[in-house]
Amino acid sequence: MPTDTAAPALEIRDLNAWYGESHILHGVNLSVPRGQVVTLLGRNGAGRTTTLRSIMGLVGRRQGSIKVHGDETIALPTHRIAHLGIGYCPEERGIFASLSAEENLRLPPPLKAGRGKAMSEADLYAMFPNLAERRASQGTRLSGGEQQMLAVARILRTGADILLLDEISEGLAPVIVQALAKMIRALKSQGFTVLMVEQNFRFAAKLADHFHVIEHGHVVESFPASELAAKQSVLDELLSV
């Protein structure tokens, strides 16, 4: 099926998802325009990470519609979803201890159906100079920030142009968080699309074009960045612990 170039990068309609008998997502609806940064906000356990995992087909059961570049993926296995040009960076990063940083970077093959977004190793080392210096180091011997950069770089090497980022700033030093923000801005300027789950509201507020708030598996608020100040009191109530 030909890709619809006018479609959003991601379009989710009436998404339900389960882990075993636990019904986590209840009719989630959201859209991620091409070339934008969209952030999922919410309390822990609200369903944000499950939304990312559902997009990749990593939950026990899902129903509804998830279109990637206009192609319906709800019945596809994870590897076929990935080959549509979407990469998932989980909170735990998935760095292999038995491989060097360079071997971790080279582990996933480039996508055959890439959209011209694949970055060369030279480009990636230019974007992440710390990785160039540590390329021979064991993957899990890198700092937390370096491991996060490696996890993102590994996706960019495949040619994926949609990035799903789960809490990439969590537990990192401010200087590393700033470097990650710079990276996201650079990727956006190059036409990449980013959907991220982020607990660090100050980090997300400076990057996102649009916000969706998830509560108990439902999207309860959706608004553009231009309305952020007006929504602050609502967010304070929805996001309070």
The 3 state secondary structure assigned to 159-208 is CCCEEEEECCCCCCCHHHHHHHHHHHHHHHHCCCEEEEECCCHHHHHCCC
> Contact, 231 vs 214, CB < 8 A?
no
> Contact, 69 vs 114, CB < 8 A?
no
Do the domain assignments include residue 188?
A: yes
Overall pTM surpassing 0.85 (yes/no): yes
Q: What is the 3-state secondary structure of 168-179?
A: CCCCCCHHHHHH
Q: Which of 7, 3, 36 is nearest to 196 (CA)?
A: 36
Give the separation between CA 30 and CA 19, rounded to whole angstroms.
21
> Contact, 91 vs 50, CB < 8 A?
no
- Torsions phi, psi of 66, nearest 5? -130, 110
pLDDT, position 1: 44
> Contact, 16 vs 63, CB < 8 A?
yes
Instruction: Return the DSSP state at 86.
Output: E
Which residue reads 């998404």 in tokens? 15
- Burial of 188-218, coded b for 16+ CB within 10 Å and e otherwise, reads beeebbbbbbbeebebbbebbbbbbbbeebe
Q: In a 10 Å sphere around its CB, with 0-12 CB exposed, 13-18 middle and 19+ buried, how is residue 5 labelled?
A: exposed
Give the separation between CA 55 and CA 87, rounded to whole angstroms.
10
What's the domain count of the chain? Answer: 1
pLDDT, position 113: 56
Q: Which of 231, 160, 197, 172 is nearest to 42 (CA)?
A: 197
Do the domain assignments include residue 2?
A: no
Do the domain assignments include residue 136?
A: yes
CATH number of 159's domain:
3.40.50.300
Do the domain assignments include residue 175?
A: yes
pLDDT, position 171: 86
Looking at this protein, which amino acid is placed at residue 65? S
pLDDT, position 114: 52
Do the domain assignments include residue 4?
A: no
Residues in the chain: 241
pLDDT, position 92: 87
Give me the residues of the chain with pLDDT under 50, please.
Answer: 1-2
Do the domain assignments include residue 214?
A: yes
Do the domain assignments include residue 3?
A: no
Do the domain assignments include residue 1?
A: no
Look up the domain containing 189 and give its range: 10-239
